[in-house]
Structure 1
Amino acid sequence: MRVEGDELVVDIVEPASRLPQAKSEESRPAASDEGSSAPETKSKSVNSIPEKATSGQSERKGGPLARTAAIIGGEKGFWTFAKHKYGEEISSADQAEAWIKKVCSIESRVDLDHEPRSAQVFRPIEKAYRLWLEGYD
């Protein structure tokens, strides 16, 4: 195991029973096939880190509001609340996510933590839901 940047990398080694066979295949000279490429004997590493786009901006990550939106969106009580309070028929977490995105004018729940206007729309919905759960209408 090692840390690269802010990611933990774990190397997975195949079972020992397969190592001699893998070594014998790797020891064969690949140069014997002139003009043709030898088939790859090594599989792509599970630990390879995909290259990130270098657009000059750091990658946006979800924070507490994105987490809250994901959690309440999966609660059946929120689906009932949305129907009762907003007349919105929701019957799955995916539909709840789509409704929250539509109402907050966002493309991803991550935007809730990075766009103040979206957060201003979401917070009262979440607050009203919490109060509704406690019996306040």
Structure 2
Amino acid sequence: MMGDLFLWLFSFLLLIALLGILVFQLMCLADLEFDYINPYDLASRINSVVLPEFISQGVLCLLFLLSGHWVMFLLCVPNLYYNFRQYTRRQHLVDVTEIFNLLSWEKNQRLAKLIYTVILLFLSIFWMIWTALEDD
């Protein structure tokens, strides 16, 4: 049971890191919207954290799969599939020339991912507390 507690703690920390990445991306998009940064800087900042975001989401999903937490695994699969589809279609990077046309879409996409990750975070906290109380 102590292994499960460490699993939930690790997933909690991984979800906090994902939240940080998504908030960073949303802040960069808001900065572009208010004309605080130029499109080139925005694209380089966001594109540098897209792959770590995808890898973290994949590690989280794999962690739940290998540990046998099927509900959390099934909740992580849609986001993992979306990220995989974006990567294989080469639509995962922000294009400097098209960013103003796609600004609201990019913000809505990251906001939806943020809400999704917050839900996963609350479920992870719930299961971490449940596991800690179950050990006693």
State the structure with more CA Rg. 1
Is TM (by shorter chain) over 0.5? no
Q: Which has the higher strand share?
A: 1
- The TM-score normalised by the length of structure 2 is 0.32
Higher relative contact order (CA 8 A, sep 6+): 2
